[in-house]
Every structure is written in structure tokens, then in C-alpha cells.
Amino acid sequence: MALTFATLPPLKHIPKLVVFDLDFTLWPLWIDVHSKGGPYTYSKPNNAAIDRKGYHVQPFADVPKVFAYIRDTLGCQIAIASRTSAPDRARAVLSLLELEDGTKMIDHVVHPQMYPGSKMTHLRRLATLTGIPNHEMLFFDDETRNKEVEQLGVTFILVDDEEGVTEEALCKGLLTFERWRKELNLKPDDPDTHGKRPQRHSKGKSR
């Protein structure tokens, strides 16, 4: 039976920062390839940002409620770590896409990191900007190569690039975070692990 927010067991350890990749994680496309840029307009019935050529950029189905759950129930911060070469397009789209309460996705994101390069750089930078150590971060991405951030102590979850971040994926990620925190016996104010996390394999598809 699929995990849902309603069936998720009580958690003793909750990440302080949940980080998401963009392309094929929050939406089913490469923003720097498929979208041709702004000006973007918003279609409320479809929760879509429409680019200047009429191309629709929509989040994966569960993304709005995933953001809302993190904000309202978990009470932790949300960040973006993307190697897109079109950060202006990504920011414009995030500024239009909505949660169910009508708030914009961008309003719930702190310190978006959107630039080419290793995700190690993105996650280190987020630790510096937020003051949150890497071992307090849960990161969702669709590419296996980005598993390297585990060297920083980040909990990495590989998502299916055909589904993106789902309710079940978030639940499984939270349980994985809790399990590894218990195994490492870390308290919230402990220093970063700097690669001391036991090695493991994340299942999923690689692009």
C-alpha cells in the first residue's frame, strides 16, 4: 500500500531544509530546452505558466500539496538546487505556479540555487546561506550522479523522472532521513557529518 501523509508514522527527526531539483523533479521538462522563455502568462485552471510560444509548464501533480505539507505540517524550509542554464525562466515560472491556497511556489523557496555545476556546490552554498548543516537536509533529484551530495551528509532521494516528487516520495524520503539520523545518532545541533554517512544505494531511474 502506498504511503500517504495520512498513513505516515510519527517522526522524531524532521529535516530543517527540504531541497528540490527542478527539471523532471518538480516539472516534467527541461526549462532551458523545452520552454522558449517569457513573457509568461498564467493559466489558473491548469496551474500552468505559458511561454511566449504557447508552451505550457506545469508542475507534477503532487508538487503543490507536497510544498503545502512541508510548509504547514513539517514546518521546515524549502530550497531549490538546479543546474539549469536558464535561471530567469525557472524563476519566472516558479513565480506563477501556485499551491492550492493560491500562494506562489517561489514564495515558499529560500535562497534558490540555479546555475550549472555540481550539486555539491549548490548544497554547500545552501548550508552557508541558511546556517543549516548539510546533515539536516533532505534532497530530491532525478539524476543518479547527484547522489554525490551524500558525501556532505545530505540525505539524497532519487525520484522517478516520469512522476517527479510525489506524496509517497516525500513520505519515503522523510522515513529515510529519520532512519539515517538514528543510525548516525545525531542530535539537531551536532556538527556536520562531512561524508561519515554509511554508504547506501538509492533506487530509481537515472537520466
Task: Considering the candidates 23, 141, 142, 161, report the single residue annotated as catalytic.
Answer: 23
SS3 46: coil
- Would the CA dihedral through 98, 102, 104, 107 be positive or negative? negative
Q: Is 141 a catalytic residue?
A: no
With vertex at residue 29, the alpha carbon angle to CA 154 and CA 41, rounded to the nearest 5 degrees, is: 110
**Cα–Cα nearest to 186, from 71, 16, 8, 9:** 16
Q: Report the C-alpha gap between 49 and 57 in whole angstroms.
A: 5
Q: Is 107 a catalytic residue?
A: no
Say if CB 10 and CB 70 are below 8 A apart. Answer: no
- Enzyme catalytic residues: 21, 23
